[in-house]
């Protein structure tokens, strides 16, 4: 019996060693071939257009990234501009106007400075900031948290860097609303159809149970027009829209000439909407 | 079998009764739907047979191309440019949802959800 136990322990010990050593050898073999595998997956990623950037902005960006500059001073000069911009968006996208605030659907709207820039210290506000509001809209982030949250890929980033929605796919889970740090998304708690004042036949409505938000007028940009809000500003240049990746675009020129701020930059979402304050 | 004189006629009556829908409607599929075709357009975006069988796939393809891939280009048909759009292309010729879409959809008892969001022509 004694003898047998010894034999058992020997065999067990040797096989344990062999097992450990064996896995180490296998690991070594696998890691030896892994760089090639990593390259292959990297190449596949690139082929699919998934940019692993975020951490590597050193390489020159390719493709378009649409963005916007909002000149809040212009909105202070002309207080009617805010209303114009809101209305242009409402008519362009069949945005419903519900009587109750809790049902509100909003794509672009005017809000107080402290609601827009929650990270800015505001112990003593200047008069202009106190008296005026700033327009807020979807930031079309370069690193959009809503896209990551969406389980159906209803919200996605298109090839021009616009964060847009495919309403057909939206299941109304509202993960995107929880993910958006700016609160730029609205949910259709009720059927919006009867609450649309003026039907625009060039854009669909939404149905109950669907989230919606600003789409930077993807349907207008696609055919070479400017977003409705930018158009509503006319020649005031209160809102300027353009390609952030094009160094010669008007928006880049303005960014070079003016001190601009983004909303909640510390979150790392890389918003594409800039504000001149 | 006891009471076979009652059971067998009873069974026959029962079977006839539960098969009422089959023999009552036998050979009568109802009138085939007659969707109203546009008068001023000769050709659809696809040949008749294709569009009749596959219009739903075409609409899905259009949707994905326009929305997902951003391919909003137009296509030419009989010398005219058209967009890939249900509201702006299909319903441009087929001006009545009731007289065109609904006739077949009601007949086949399919309920597409297009019109929950898309806007049907005013009738």
- Give pLDDT, residue A1: 57
- Cβ pair A242, A65 in contact under 8 A: no
Of A160, A167, A202, the CB nearest to B70: A160
Written as one string, the DSSP assignment of B66-90 is IIIS-----EEETTEEE-S-IIIII
- Give B118's contacts in chain A (Cβ within 8 Å): 204-205
Cα(A161)–Cα(A22) distance, rounded to whole angstroms? 49
Would you say residue B43 has pLDDT above 70? yes
Which of A153, A157, A188 shows the shortest CA–CA distance to A169? A153
Q: What is the spatial distance between Cα A134 and Cα A70, in angstroms, rounded to a whole number?
A: 9
Question: With pLDDT > 70 as the criterion, what percentage of chain B qualifies?
Answer: 100
DSSP H helices in chain B: 4-18, 20-24, 48-63, 91-93, 102-108, 114-117
Q: What are the CA-CA distances from residue B121 to residues B38, B87, B92, B95, B115 (Å)?
A: 14, 8, 9, 6, 10
Scanning the structure block, which residue is given the tokens 């495919």? A166
pLDDT given for residue B76 in this prediction: 86
Six token digits for residue B113? 């959800």
- Give the C-alpha separation, A5 to A9, whole Å: 6
pTM of the model: 0.76
Query: What is residue A202's DSSP assignment?
Result: T
Evaluate whether A116 touches A136 at the Cβ level (below 8 Å).
yes
Beta-carbon contacts of residue A108 (< 8 Å; ≥ 6 apart): A85, A86, A89, A135, A136, A137, A214, A229
How big is the CA angle at A252 (ends A250 and A255), to the nearest 5 degrees? Answer: 110
Residue B81 has pLDDT above 60, yes or no: yes
Q: Is B56 on the interface with A (CB under 8 A)?
A: no
Confidence at residue A33, expressed as pLDDT on a 0 to 100 scale: 57
**Could you tell me the residue range of the domain that residue B94 belongs to?**
85-123
Q: How far apart are CA A257 and CA A58, in angstroms?
A: 23
The CATH T-level fold of domain A66-276 is Alpha-Beta Plaits (3.30.70)
B70, B116, B119 member nearest A207 (Cβ): B116
User: Is-contact B51 B44, C-beta < 8 A?
Assistant: yes
Minimum Cα–Cα distance from A206: chain B residue: B117
Instruction: Parse chain A into domains and list their residue ranges.
Output: 66-276
In a domain, B37, yes or no: no
Q: Does B119 touch chain A (CB under 8 A)?
A: yes
User: Is B109 inside a domain boundary?
Assistant: yes
User: Mean of the pLDDT values across residues B61-69?
Assistant: 94
Q: Are A167 and A155 in contact (CB under 8 A)?
A: no
Helix, strand or coil, per DSSP, at residue A147: helix
Is B52 near chain A, with CB under 8 Å? no
Interchain contact, A199 vs B119, CB within 8 Å: yes
Q: Is residue B52 part of a domain?
A: no
Helix or strand run (H / E) with residue A82? helix A80-93
Cα(A11)–Cα(A5) distance, rounded to whole angstroms? 10
Confidence at B41, pLDDT banded by 50, 70, 90: confident
Number of domains in chain B: 1
Considering CB atoms only, which of B63, B72, B119 is closest to A168? B63
Of A64, A95, A132, A131, whose CA–CA distance to A229 is shortest? A95
A167: nearest CB among B87, B88, B117: B117
Per-residue confidence of chain A (277 residues) as pLDDT tens digits?
567 888 999 999 999 999 888 888 888 877 765 544 444 444 444 444 444 444 545 566 678 999 999 999 999 999 899 999 999 999 999 999 999 999 999 999 999 999 999 988 888 888 888 899 999 999 999 999 999 999 999 999 999 999 999 999 999 999 999 999 999 999 999 999 999 999 999 999 999 999 999 999 999 999 999 999 999 998 999 999 999 999 999 999 999 999 999 999 999 999 999 999 9
**Minimal Cα–Cα distance from A204 to chain B, Å?**
5
Contact criterion met (CB < 8 Å) for A222 and B67: no
- Residues B122, B101: Cα–Cα separation, whole Å: 14
Contact B117 A204 (CB under 8 A): yes
How confident is the model over B102-115, as a mean pLDDT? 92
Q: A64 near A245, Cβ under 8 Å? A: yes
Q: How far apart are CA B2 and CA B5, in angstroms?
A: 8
- pLDDT for res A46: 44
> Cα–Cα distance between A15 and A3 in angstroms, integer?
18
Interchain contact, A199 vs B116, CB within 8 Å: no
Q: What angle do CA A188, A189, A194 make, to 5 degrees?
A: 70
Residue B78 falls within a domain, yes or no? no
């Amino acid at each position: 019996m004694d003898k047998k136990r010894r034999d058992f322990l020997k065999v067990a010990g040797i096989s344990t060693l062999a097992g450990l050593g064996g896995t180490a050898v296998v690991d070594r073999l696998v890691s030896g071939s892994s760089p090639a595998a990593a390259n292959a997956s990297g190449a596949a990623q690139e082929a699919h257009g998934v940019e692993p950037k975020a951490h590597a902005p050193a390489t020159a960006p390719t493709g378009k990234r649409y963005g916007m500059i909002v000149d809040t001073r212009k909105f202070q000069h002309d207080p009617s501009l805010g209303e114009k911009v809101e209305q242009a968006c409402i008519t362009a996208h069949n945005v419903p106007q519900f009587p109750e605030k809790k049902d509100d659907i909003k794509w672009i709207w005017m809000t107080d400075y402290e609601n827009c820039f929650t990270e800015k210290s505001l112990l003593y506000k200047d008069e202009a900031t106190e008296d005026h509001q700033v327009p807020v809209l979807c930031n079309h982030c370069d690193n959009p948290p809503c896209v990551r949250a969406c389980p159906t890929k209803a919200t996605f980033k298109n090839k021009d860097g616009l964060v847009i929605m495919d309403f057909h796919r939206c299941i109304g889970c509202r993960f995107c609303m929880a993910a958006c740090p700016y609160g730029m998304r609205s949910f259709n708690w009720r059927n919006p159809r009867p609450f649309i004042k003026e039907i625009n036949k060039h854009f669909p409505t939404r149905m109950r149970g669907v989230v919606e938000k600003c789409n930077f007028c993807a349907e207008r940009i696609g055919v070479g027009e400017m977003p409705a809000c930018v158009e509503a500003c006319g020649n005031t240049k209160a809102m300027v829209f353009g390609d952030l990746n094009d160094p010669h675009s008007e928006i880049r020129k303005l960014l070079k000439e003016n001190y601009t701020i983004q909303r909640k930059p510390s979150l790392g979402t890389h918003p594409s909407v800039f504000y001149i304050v | 079998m006891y009471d076979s004189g009652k059971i067998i006629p009873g069974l026959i009556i029962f079977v006839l009764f539960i098969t009422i829908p089959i023999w009552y409607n036998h050979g009568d599929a109802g009138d085939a739907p007659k969707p109203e075709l546009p008068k001023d357009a000769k050709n659809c975006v696809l040949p008749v047979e294709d569009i009749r069988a596959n219009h739903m796939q075409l609409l899905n393809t259009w949707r994905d191309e326009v929305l997902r891939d951003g391919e909003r280009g137009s296509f030419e048909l009989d010398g005219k440019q058209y967009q890939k759009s249900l509201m702006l292309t299909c319903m441009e010729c087929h001006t009545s949802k009731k007289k065109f879409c609904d006739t077949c959809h009601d007949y086949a008892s399919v309920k597409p959800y297009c019109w929950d969001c898309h806007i049907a022509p005013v009738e």
